[in-house]
Amino acid sequence: MIRFENVGLRYDMGPEVLRDLSFEIRRQSFQFLTGPSGAGKTSLLRMLFLALKPTRGLITVLGKDVATLSRRDLPSIRRRIGVVFQDFRLLDHMTTYENVALPLRVRGREEASYRQDVVDLIKWVGLGERMNALPVVLSGGEKQRAAIARALIDQPDILLADEPTGNVDPPLARRLLRLFLELNRTGTAVVIATHDLGLMDQVDARRLILSDGRLDIYD
Amino acid sequence: MTEMTARWFDLRLAAGRLVRRRRHARQTPIVPPANVAGRALTTVIAIMTFLASLTVGAVTLVSDSAGRWENDISREVTVQVKPEEGLDMAAALQRVRTIALGSAGVTDARILDDAATGRLLEPWLGKGVDLDELPVPRLVVIGIDAHHPPNFSALSQTITAAVPAAELDDHRGWVSRLVTMARAMVLAGIAVLSLVMIATILTVIFATRGAMSGNRQIIEVLHFVGARSGFIAGEFQRHFFRLGLFGALVGGSLAMLVFYGMSWWTETNRATPEADQISALFGSFAIDWQGYVGVVLLIATVAGLTAFTSRLTVIRQLEAIDMISPVEG
């Protein structure tokens, strides 16, 4: 689904922060992306969801070479990629329901056509009681689950999550992990960027380890 | 009675359904409707539109008054008959009047009678002056067809030949100076209006960009959940158009109220010396329809400008976060 071939990245005229990255995110696969702080996890994730161009190499997303994509093509590809940001990025003036429904609303769909799906998903992530709450009154874990629900609402082909358990206690982190595994079983490829070793040890999954700008893969 | 009650309940149920449906239909706007930056932007827009509208009104007023002065003066010339020994003043005035009326391009000629001449001289000589006892020059006021004016030098020569004591004053020196001054005033007015318009445009642009800076996160989130640029720009454009239109309407309406108030004041105080002074300069101080049309155009421009600036800002921000190359970006 996403393929990197000899990808390198540097900012301005500085040294390369990512070097010779070659890997593939396969359909329905599950993997962790890890490495020490500052190793370039977020930069790699940004390249995965088309927010950053590589300075060299080839990236193919859903069969399309990103170097040849025009700005017009980007939204339709992004709609097939769900992203969970480290800082949630929920819109503060909207309720949990409205935040989760946002991706469908921007696609111009009628609310009646998705209302039940959104309610079901919010219940599935355990926020049924917080449907009409604004983000300011939600706890860190609740915000995290709302952000995950928003990334999942349009059944993406790939889910990218940046430190999804960084703000929650271990029991909730395990619950969130189960949620990702369940999602993966339904057919979505999942990439979780984390440096939480405890979390990774709970699942026997592929690990992409970034260090000194290079990537080691442990299948 | 039971039927009435049943109908009443039906009505309440229908109303309840309607309210519930409306509540469902009303979604929170994607751009937050009211915040401090939005209110500050509306206030700035209202103030700038008010000032720019006042300038538009002032420029139309000055331009109208200048045109009126020019017209009034070029529509009349005077012939002065100086008193000389043995001159029959009444006959000389009558002769001048007859010659003037017989010339092409003259619409009317009237002799300024004793009472009117007395009124002209009143500030210097006081009331009740007997003009027959004083050697006072007398005037014949000649109305000119502004579109087909007479040949002034020929007219002057004919009059002087018939009545040597008569002298035609066509106010040309006066008129040319007044016209130059009036045109300079209109030019100065247009220059001031241009400066105020530039200041308004820049203020609106910067205030809109300031109000937009708080919305960067919303733009990013919409972008990464797959919204098209046109959708995001449209949402912000609509929101900022409403803010701009509201502010501009408030400012423009206040300015129109000021115009109307001034015109009403000069109308109602027509007899007082203060109003007389203002009327002498600016007529009734009324802004004509062009002034009001100018203000309406200004309101539309400011609202459109606010919307356009927000659209441009969104598109720029999207370009900045969209697939940036770390080297280029």
Q: How far apart are CA A150 and CA A144, in angstroms?
A: 10
Running DSSP on this structure, what letter comes out for residue B167?
E
Residue B226: which of A79, A85, A95 has the nearest Cβ?
A79
Chain-centre distance for alpha carbon B154: 41
Min CA distance, B230 vs chain A (Å)? Answer: 10
- For A134-146, give the secondary structure using H, E and C: CHHHCCHHHHHHH
Q: In this structure, what token pair is assigned to residue A15?
A: 């040294």
Q: Do B327 and A91 touch (CB under 8 A)?
A: no
Cα gap B31→B6, rounded to integer Å: 44
The answer, for A49 touching chain B at a CB cutoff of 8 Å, is yes
Element (H, E) at B218: helix B216-224
A47, A53, A95, A162, best to mutate vs chain B, most B CBs in 10 Å: A53
pLDDT of residue A135: 95
**For B266-325, what is each residue's pLDDT tens digit?**
777 766 666 666 666 666 566 778 888 888 998 999 899 888 888 888 888 887 776 554
Question: How far apart (Å, rounded) are the C-alpha atoms in residues A150 and A96?
Answer: 9
| CB-CB neighbors (< 8 A) of B236 in chain A | none
> Counting Cβ atoms within 10 Å, is residue A212 exposed (0-12), middle (13-18) or buried (19+)?
exposed
Residues of chain A neighbouring B220 (CB-CB closer than 8 A)? 89
Burial tier of B321 (Cβ tally within 10 Å: 0-12, 13-18, 19+): middle
Which among B24, B28, B226 has CB closest to A103? B226
Provide the pLDDT for residue B250. 96
CA distances from A46 to A188, A193, B62, B264 (A): 19, 11, 61, 66
Q: Are B243 and B46 in contact (CB under 8 A)?
A: no
Q: Does A53 reach chain B within 8 Å, measured CB to CB?
A: yes
ipTM metric: 0.86
Pairwise CB contact (< 8 Å): B226 & A66:
no
A103 in reach of chain B (CB within 8 A): yes
pLDDT at A7: 93
- pLDDT (0 to 100) of residue A136: 94
Question: Any alpha helices (H) in chain A, and if so which ranges?
Answer: 41-48, 74-78, 96-106, 111-124, 140-152, 170-185, 197-201
Identify the H or E element spanning B323.
none
> Among B226, B322, B327, whose Cβ lies nearest the Cβ of A107?
B226
Q: For residues B104 and B147, is the Cβ–Cβ distance under 8 A?
A: no
Answer for the pair B117, B136: CB distance below 8 angstroms, yes or no: yes
Please tell me the distance from the alpha carbon of residue A18 to that of residue A43, in angstroms, as a whole number: 8
Provide Rg for chain B, Cα atoms: 34
CB within 8 Å of B200: residues ≥ 6 apart: B48, B49, B51, B52, B302
What is the 8-class DSSP label of residue A68? G
pLDDT at B286: 66
Question: Nearest CA to CA, how far is A90 from chain B (Å)?
Answer: 8
Question: Kind of pairing, strands A2-10 and B138-144?
Answer: unpaired
* H or E stretch covering A61: strand A56-61
Strands B138-144 and B106-111, by their bridges, are antiparallel
Q: How far apart are CA A43 and CA A62, in angstroms?
A: 20
Who among B220, B221, B323 is closest to A50 (CB)?
B323
Check B224 against A11: CB less than 8 A apart.
no
Q: Which candidate from B28, B225, B325 shows the least CB-CB separation from A103?
A: B225
How far apart, in Å, are the Cα atoms of B225 and each of A190, B80, B259? 17, 88, 51
Report the gap between the CA of A202 and the closest CA in chain B (Å): 30
A5, A174 in Cβ contact below 8 A?
A: no
| Cβ-based contacts of B230 with chain A (< 8 Å) | none
Q: Which of B256, B252, B200, B253 is nearest to B44 (CA)?
A: B200
Q: Chain A partners of B224 at a C-beta cutoff of 8 Å?
A: 49, 51, 78, 83, 85, 89
Per CB-CB distance under 8 Å, the chain A contacts of B218 are 91
Q: Do A69 and B323 touch (CB under 8 A)?
A: yes
Specify whether the CB–CB gap between A215 and A21 falls below 8 A: yes
Q: Which of B24, B225, B239, B319 to mutate to test the interface with A (most CBs of A within 10 A)?
A: B225
Which residues of chain A are under the pLDDT cut of 50?
none
Give the chain A residue nearest B32 (alpha carbons).
Answer: A93
- In 3D space, the residue among B168, B167, B141 whose CA is nearest the CA of residue B84 turns out to be B167
pLDDT for A6: 92
Each of the 329 residues of chain B gets a pLDDT tens digit; together they read: 456 666 665 666 566 555 555 444 567 888 887 777 788 889 989 999 999 898 888 888 877 777 777 676 667 888 888 888 878 888 888 888 998 888 888 888 888 888 788 777 877 777 777 777 778 888 888 888 877 888 888 888 888 888 888 888 877 677 678 778 877 888 888 898 888 888 888 887 887 777 777 788 888 888 888 888 889 889 889 988 999 999 999 999 999 999 888 888 877 776 666 666 666 666 656 677 888 888 899 899 989 988 888 888 888 888 777 655 444 33
Of A9, A51, A90, nearest to B323 by CB-CB distance is A51
Walk across the sheet containing B166-169 and list its strands. Answer: B106-111, B138-144, B76-81, B166-169
B69-97: pLDDT as tens digits: 767 666 788 888 888 887 888 888 888 89
- Helix, strand, or coil (residue A11): coil
The residue among B217, B221, B324 with the most chain A CBs within 10 A of its CB, best to mutate, is B221
Identity of the residue in A51, A52, A150 whose CB atom sits nearest the CB atom of B225? A150
Residue A46 at interface with chain B, using a CB cutoff of 8 Å: no
* Nearest chain A alpha carbon to B219: A91
User: Is the CB of A209 inside 8 Å of chain B's CB atoms?
Assistant: no
For residue A26, the model assigns a pLDDT of: 92
Nearest beta carbon to residue B228 from set A69, A75, A94: A75
Nearest to B120 by CA among B108, B133, B137: B137
Of B28, B228, B321, the CB nearest to A98: B28
- Contact call for residues A93 and B32 (beta carbons, < 8 A): yes
CB contact under 8 A, A111 and B27: yes
Q: Which residue of B has its CA nearest to A150?
A: B225
State how far the alpha carbon of B113 is from the alpha carbons of B97, B156, B166, in Å.
Answer: 13, 22, 16
Q: Parallel, antiparallel, or unpaired for β A206-211 and A30-34?
A: parallel
| pLDDT value at residue A172 | 80
Q: What's the longest Cα–Cα distance across chain B?
A: 112
CA neighbor of A177 nearest in space, from A158, A196, A151: A196
Q: Where are the beta strands (DSSP E) in chain B?
A: 76-81, 106-111, 138-144, 166-169
The two counts, helices (H) then strands (E), for chain A are: 7, 10
